Structure 1
Amino acid sequence: MSAAPSDQLVELRHGERRVLLAPAVGGAIAAFDETHGERVIDWLRPATPAALAARDPLGMASFPLLPYCNRIRDARFVFDGALVDLSGDGNGFAHALHGNAWRLPWRVGDTSKSRARLHLRHEPSREAAHHWPFAYEATQDIALDADALAVTMSARNLSDRPMPFGMGHHPYYPRTRNTRIHARVAAMWHSTPDLLPTHAGPHACVDAMASVEGMSADAFDLDNNFAGWSRAATIAWPDEGRSIMLDAETPFDHLVVYAPASHPGLLCVEPVSNVADWINLDVDRAMKGGAVLQPGESVSARFAWTTCVERGVAERVRDA
């Protein structure tokens, strides 16, 4: 198929499963659902028409994080002996947040019924939402099949100097009072009130997520990074007889769980390659993640959401 204009939604289908992409809204996924009889199951929280009209990435189902994940303290860091100041990049936050790819339009490349490729090329600029003093290009290869939605993220440093780098994705899941989270992590990063990490250590949620029952999404007030992730997590709705498993390749070795008590409808379980403010943290790289790409160097990694609806549930839905 020919490339679609980037300001249009791109629909992928496989049987009764559907994905909507919003290239103009930071290369985001706008919806991932499937139909059983008259019931539509939302595997990710779908974007509303208002969020799409406003081109609000925070209102999407999931959006890419490049060239770093989460926050950078005071939007500043020193790299290779030079100060990098991101305070004027138009992000609207006290600390630089999630890079710039989520606030830029992506271009649609090759597409088919169940696959699409999205492209982004960034050149250094002082314009709002564009300032990152390193040139890079990125792609998302998004594929839908009978079991999973897979995303392969790739990036290449186009600068003539090394570039600090991190990547991830920021999915929102439907959150109910019965939602459970299953994951194995080594430690939780404790943080300041403005969500900058201080130290990694134990927390009751680490044990809760590793338990057979999993952790209730309402059990803790969380907006935290986790180190030593096994690169697999499951979000389950046992009362609905369904679950979705997130699995990832390295360097998605870190996890973010966002389950705020103040917003009981929000739940994020995010695969990321670096913890917040990694570039300013003086700790071992294995604990904080992040990377440095040399000129011309590339990185690529895949993650996927595999869905499961219990057979009895699917049959009841079809027969309803």
Structure 2
Amino acid sequence: MSATPSDTLVALRHGARRVLLAPHVGGAIAAFDETRDDRVIDWLRPATPAALAARDPLGMASFPLLPYCNRIRDARFMFDGAPVDLSGDGNAFAHALHGNAWRLPWRIAEVSESRARMHLLHEPSRAAAHHWPFAYEATQDIALDADTLSVTMSARNLSDRPMPFGMGHHPYYPRTRNTRIHARVAAMWHSTPDLLPTHAGPHPCVDAMASPEGLSADAFDLDNNFAGWSSRTATISWPDEHRSIRLDADAPFDHMVIYAPASHPALLCVEPVSNVADWINLDVARAMKGGAVLQPGESVSATFAWTTRVG
């Protein structure tokens, strides 16, 4: 069935599993949980009532990144021979961050018991989050079943000119002293103090993630992009709780971000993204930085999924 824009949460259910969507909070997922033996298991960090009341995407369980992921240096770049200035887009951060879709209300276009489609139409203007100078539309198709929560992200360039583009999602996971991250990547992007990439190279966390024990979420102070995520698979596990969640992604989600800050020991993000931070200003091979250019009318679509395991 179809629905109109709403400030209410939308619940998807499959047996004891539940997903809460907050379309009015940047098209975010507010919770993903299940009930076992009268105990609620949070697979993603749930949004608090305060975060929902404040409509704070950073307080959600996961939110979409469109039409680019992570930071753009000084909110400026050159594209197709012309400067693009995003400094007036209403973003409160030092550099343009995560695009604008997470700061705009989405609408529920279709919904059933275990599936939903969220839709966003962006038309440029000089107003805050509408400041991105290219028209585009995006959808998120979300499906819940007995094992997996999948999200298919799609976007189409509605402008009459090419548009630089990237996409991803920004999930927060429960973080405990025993949380481990397992993944195989080629290199970590080292960065400046204000988190802009400088070069991709080795780091102990790369080897730790590939080890049987995995990387402890507390081992390093991380807010970094990773290149060469060729398997596009990562697992977050809680060995003491005998449970894990596996992230699988399609191309072009060829890059991964880990946010595990030492200063905020409750926060952990392992993000599927199609471009590294500041990709559009980086003078490196496309394979190392990702990102794309959508021609007028061109579309892109890709799926990622979380598969849970207990026992």
Q: For each residue in 1:182-239, what CA deviation from the matched residue of structure 2 results, as whole angstroms up to 9, or x when unmatched?
A: 0000000000000000000000000000000000000000000000102000000000
Question: 1:181, 1:126 → 2: CA distance?
Answer: 41
Please identify runs of 4+ aligned residues in structure 1 that moved more than 3 A.
none
In structure 1, what is the equivalent of residue 247 of structure 2? 246
Residues 5 and 24, structure 2, Cα contact 8 Å, conserved in 1: no
Q: RMSD of the alignment, in Å?
A: 0.6
1:299 deviation in Å?
A: 0.1
Counterpart Cα distance in 2 of 1:133 and 1:4:
26
SS at match of 1:50: helix
Once residues 101 and 8 of structure 1 are traced to their aligned partners in structure 2, the CA distance between those partners, rounded to angstroms, is 18
Output aligned runs, 1:47-66, within 5 Å. 47-66=47-66
Contact 1:4 1:10 (C-alpha < 8 Å) held by counterparts: no
8 A contact 2:26–2:103 mirrored in 1: yes
User: Structure 2 counterpart of 1:296, which letter?
Assistant: G
| Identity, % of aligned positions | 88
- Residue 218 (structure 1) aligns with: 218
**TM-score, normalised by the number of residues in structure 1:** 0.96
How many correspondences in the alignment? 310
Gaps of 5+ in 2: none
**Aligned residue in 2 for 1:23:** 23
| Contact residue 254 and residue 274 of structure 1 kept, 8 A | yes
- What is the CA deviation profile of residues 34-56 of structure 1, one whole-angstrom value per residue up to 9, with x for unaligned ones? 00011100000000000000000
Structure 1 match to 2:68: 68
* Superposition pairs of residues 168-247 of structure 1, within 5 angstroms: 168-229=168-229, 230-247=231-248
- Counterparts in 2 of 1:287-298, with a 5 A limit? 287-298=288-299
Residue matched to 1:111: 111
Counterpart Cα distance in 1 of 2:5 and 2:278: 35
| TM-score calculated relative to the size of structure 2 | 0.99
In 2: Cα distance, 1:5 partner to 1:145 partner: 25
Partner-residue secondary structure (3-state), 1:181: strand
State the secondary structure of the residue aligned to 1:178.
coil
Q: Which runs of 5+ in 1 are unaligned?
A: 311-320
Q: Structure 1 counterpart of 2:205, which letter?
A: C
Distance 1:25 1:2 in 2: 19
SS at match of 1:113: coil
Q: Deviations over 1:236-286 (max 9, x none)?
A: 000000000000000000000000000000000000000000000000000
State the SS of the aligned residue for 2:129. Answer: coil
C-alpha distance after superposition, 1:123-146 (max 9, x if no partner): 011101111000000000000000
